Amino acid sequence: MARRQISFRSWSLRFNDQSDDVLRDITLRIEPGERVLITGPSGGGKSTFVRAIAGLTDSAIVTERGKRTSDALAIAYVGQEPDEQILFPTIREEVAFVAETASENLDDVDERIREALQSAGVTNDPDSSTGRLSGGEKQRVAIATAMAARPDLLVLDEPTASLDGPSMGVVRDAVTRIVNDTDTTLVLVEHRIALWKHLVTRIVVVADGRIAIDGPLDEVLTAQRSALVALGVWVPGHSRATKPAAIERGAKPVLVSRKLVSARAEGAKSIRLPSLTLREGESVALVGANGSGKTSVLRALGGLMPPRGGRIEYVGVNESPHEIAAKALPVIASSVIQNPAYGFGNGTVSDEAPAHERAAVGLRGRDQRHPQSLSGGERRRLALATALAREPKVLLLDEPTFGQDAHSWHDLLDRLRDYLAEGGAIVFASHDQLLVRSLANRVITLGEKR
């Protein structure tokens, strides 16, 4: 296969509906066979940059200046959100779509499908439905699909962002095998350097729309360690858990749940939560693999949907949480769901949450932006600021640290600890072990069997 390269020279990009450049004065050259990790602060322009590398800039909505050249013959791109990577009803159709586009004859299509599924380690029946796959399996199928084009450049934008530990390993192993076996050039966006340290050779840090650091990974990790830390990069071995504050003696109970049985939807499997009494100042973590029921338990506790069985009671409130009027609910139990985009009710960030709460979770300088236009990590912080502004008795958080850089992560932890110190109480679901160790007074593991 021909070896090709990508280059940017004094290149800038602006969204036509915004007044400032999102990416500024970028000069970068990626040689064939390189393995590049792109990282940097949440909202710094990483995703926009890799989309440009993948050739996904739409001239109708952006203006580019400077020079961008790509000699890659076939570029494969896999984004963050598993559901957005899957286009067809079955695994075979999904992979075949790319193979049929890239091939000249049908025998080659079958060969490409077989090879792609094998290289990404997809062991599911190819005729099974893509809708029933777990998040990790969907990402693995998306990577297999990308490989069916036999690309010379593979671009991955946080492919493990929404996955639990085992699923993350599945995706990492698939990418490692592909890159080692095929010599494909790899460009990968990721906050967790530790996860990919074995594979990538070069690190590019994008901060505030510019390339702040660019060099060989090992060298940068030692020589520029403090610069990385200052930029909020998750430097392996740098962040350590600090113990959560102890609950005050005699703290009053705020939430009591007995024999709770919840389910994601009608007909879905039942999830049982051990009896729970949550006190003022207390924080409880729900942990477990993807699909173990953390979200459905949180939603039942938060009154977003009725439980299948058992009893949930907020102290001093007569109704069950799902019967509380919508207007009154967020003051008692305020939920921040995994994708807060579904719940934004205003046209600008400044209308969505007060300035001091936004600043407290490290969300600055986005006042006039539409909430939907924020990066994934920023959206979560905005939703958290909105929830905290209501001073709820209990805060229910679903994966609050997805997509956060080290700075915003610490801002978020500090604000949550303040809230607990003021007498609030938290139930949160997370795959983030550092957060669990730093915030939870108690850990409940759901769905031990996978």
Partner 1 sequence: MNRGRHSVALLGASAVPALVVVWTVDPFTPILTLVPLLAVMWAFAPNALIYPSRIAYIALGIAIASTGIASLLYAAPRGTIYFELGLMTVSDGSFAVAAASMTRIAAIALPAMFVASSISAHEFLATLAVKRVVPARFALATLIALRLIPVIASDLDETRQARRANGLSQSPFAVALTSLVIAIRRAVRMSDVAETRGFSKPHRLWSAYQPMRFLDWTLVAFAVAVGVGALYVTATTGEWNSAIR
Positions touching partner 1 (CB under 8 A) are 51, 54-56, 75-77, 79, 81, 83-89, 92-93, 96-106, 109-110, 127, 130-131, 145-146, 149, 265, 299, 302-305, 326-331, 334-337, 339-345, 372, 386, 390
Q: State how far the Cα of 61 lies from the Cα of 135, in Å rounded to an integer.
A: 30
Cβ closest to partner 1, residue 113 vs residue 207: 113
* Residue (of 387, 392, 362, 136) closest to 278 by Cα position: 392
Cβ closest to partner 1, residue 86 vs residue 163: 86
Which residues in 180-192 are b (16+ Cβ under 10 Å) and which e? Answer: eebebbbbbbbbb
* Residue (of 284, 207, 242) closest to 446 by Cα position: 284
Structure tokens at 243: 């113990």
CB of residue 25 vs partner 1: minimum separation in angstroms? 25
CB of residue 160 vs partner 1: minimum separation in angstroms? 17
CB of residue 146 vs partner 1: minimum separation in angstroms? 8
Show Cβ contacts of residue 346 under 8 Å, excluding neighbours closer than 6 positions.
352, 371
CB of residue 100 vs partner 1: minimum separation in angstroms? 4
CB of residue 398 vs partner 1: minimum separation in angstroms? 10
Cβ closest to partner 1, residue 199 vs residue 341: 341
Cβ closest to partner 1, residue 232 vs residue 400: 400
Cβ closest to partner 1, residue 231 vs residue 298: 298
Cβ closest to partner 1, residue 96 vs residue 174: 96
Ramachandran category for residue 302: left, alpha or beta (phi over 0 → left; psi -120 to 50 → alpha): alpha
DSSP, collapsed to helix, strand or coil, labels residue 253 as strand
Show Cβ contacts of residue 183 under 8 Å, excluding neighbours closer than 6 positions.
33
CB of residue 337 vs partner 1: minimum separation in angstroms? 5
Sign of CA dihedral 103, 108, 112, 114: positive
Q: State how far the Cα of 138 lies from the Cα of 94, in Å rounded to an integer.
A: 11
